[in-house]
Structure 1
Amino acid sequence: MTFSAGRWRSGLPLMGLRRNQCGATAVEFALILLPMMIVILAFLDFGHTLYVDSMLQGSVQDAARQATIGDRTDAQIDQIIYNGMTPLISADKISIVRKSYRQFSGVGKPETLVDDKNGNGVYDPGDCWIDTNPNGTFDTDAGQAGMGDADDVLFFEVTIRYDRITPMSRLLGWPNTVTRQIRTMMRNQPYAGRGSPAKVCG
């Protein structure tokens, strides 16, 4: 009994499957789909963060410039920042800190000691200092809350928190809440005179 080559091949369908390319494209697409989606979502997340940073910087700079003129209240200055950011995040996720200093060099630094009785370079009871933010107490940060007086240095610190717009926190383990902060300093216009801070001892 003899078998032809054609009949022999038809009796072994598995050999035909080895050469069959049907569905290969779908399998290849399935293999690259997840990495491709992660890359796309990462770019979207990064782009959104850059956009929020740009809006935050612009809003804070605008508010600081308006504040240096001296004809706006604290609430009005804060509202400039809220107006710029609330299309993106809610107002309750925006934290605004404003302080004024006498000089740029004094930002974030303690009030100046003028009579250090034991010469240790730090404040001790009985020492004397320049009470820059006139509250009668020596402060390790000489800043005064609010927008200050004419020719003062105005310091802004604005912090925002918002949720990511993409599921990157679940895909890559990133935190779901993003925190961004910006600081800026500007000197108030000399729209009026200002007195000299007093020397205080105690």
Structure 2
Amino acid sequence: MIGRTSANQSFVRRLRSDRQGTTLTEFAFVGPVLILMIMGLFDMAHTQYSSSVLHGAVQKAGRDLTLENANSNQASIDEGVRKQIATVMPSGAEIDFERLSHFDFADVDEPEEFTDLNSDGICNNNEPFIDSNGSGRWENKRGKVGIGGARDVVLYTAIVTYPRMFPMFTMAGMPRNVRLEASTVLRNQPFDEQSDRNTTPGNC
């Protein structure tokens, strides 16, 4: 009995001093975190690069849209942006475009004016407003859909949505899809006189 106890104690001492497999055990703890960090860095780098390419493409498209013949070339201008951004995007990327024309730069990204009778910050309860874009309802952007006419200010926006390239996004608490947006604001060339500002009063 004493001999068996001594042998067990000796085995335990050898087991404690045995360091074989330590590296494998440590890697099992550190490896997943390291891999997640590396994938995260690649994901961030790709997103930043894609954003840079998108902004460059949108800037050129915005300049092209201000030319006199832009109305007939909108499709080809959009296609140019699609082709340029497709070189860095994974398959399944969706690209949407938004064009809003304004009378002046001060109107860009501004809501339509309204009289806040109940001071709640919301256009409601039949409160009067100025229908700047002729939509017939109050909107949080004054711009009219399209590129407008002579001397109008155009806000051109491209929105790209695509699935992440790496599969471990859920472990990092990130959404499944990446959404990038780029905008540019330019005034149309003065190939003609600008139309007068037309607004219509309405009620929310």
State whether TM-score is above 0.5. Answer: yes
Partner in structure 1 of residue 103 of structure 2: 102
Partner in structure 2 of residue 93 of structure 1: 94
In structure 2, the residue corresponding to 1:38 is in which secondary structure? helix
What are the superposed Cα offsets for residues 165-185 of structure 1, whole Å, 9 maximum, x if unpaired? 112333233211122222221
Q: CA deviation at 1:199?
A: 6.7
Of structures 1 and 2, the larger Rg is shown by 1
Distance 1:100 1:53 in 2: 24
* TM-score, structure 2 as length reference: 0.73
* TM-score, structure 1 as length reference: 0.74
What are the superposed Cα offsets for residues 95-152 of structure 1, whole Å, 9 maximum, x if unpaired? 1010111101112446679xx9xxxxx9xx9x997x865x595764442222222221
Distance 1:51 1:186 in 2: 24
Say if 1:42 and 1:70 are closer, same or farther in 2 by CA, change over 3 A: same
In structure 1, the residue corresponding to 2:100 is in which secondary structure? strand
Match of 1:57 among 33, 41, 55: 55
Confirm or deny that 1:195 pairs with 2:195.
yes
Aligned identity (percent) is: 29
Confirm or deny that 1:25 pairs with 2:32.
no
Partner in structure 1 of residue 3 of structure 2: none
Deviates more, 1:167-176 or 1:63-72: 167-176
Say if 1:184 and 1:89 are closer, same or farther in 2 by CA, change over 3 A: farther
In structure 1, the residue corresponding to 2:170 is in which secondary structure? helix
Structure 1: gaps spanning 5 or more residues: 1-7, 117-121
Distance 1:76 1:148 in 2: 18
Structure 2: gaps spanning 5 or more residues: 1-5, 116-122
Indicate if the aligned counterparts of 2:93 and 2:160 stay in contact, CA closer than 8 A: no
The alignment yields a C-alpha RMSD, in angstroms, of 3.6
Say if 1:70 and 1:168 are closer, same or farther in 2 by CA, change over 3 A: farther
Q: CA deviation at 1:24?
A: 1.8
Distance 1:91 1:161 in 2: 9
Distance 1:34 1:111 in 2: 51
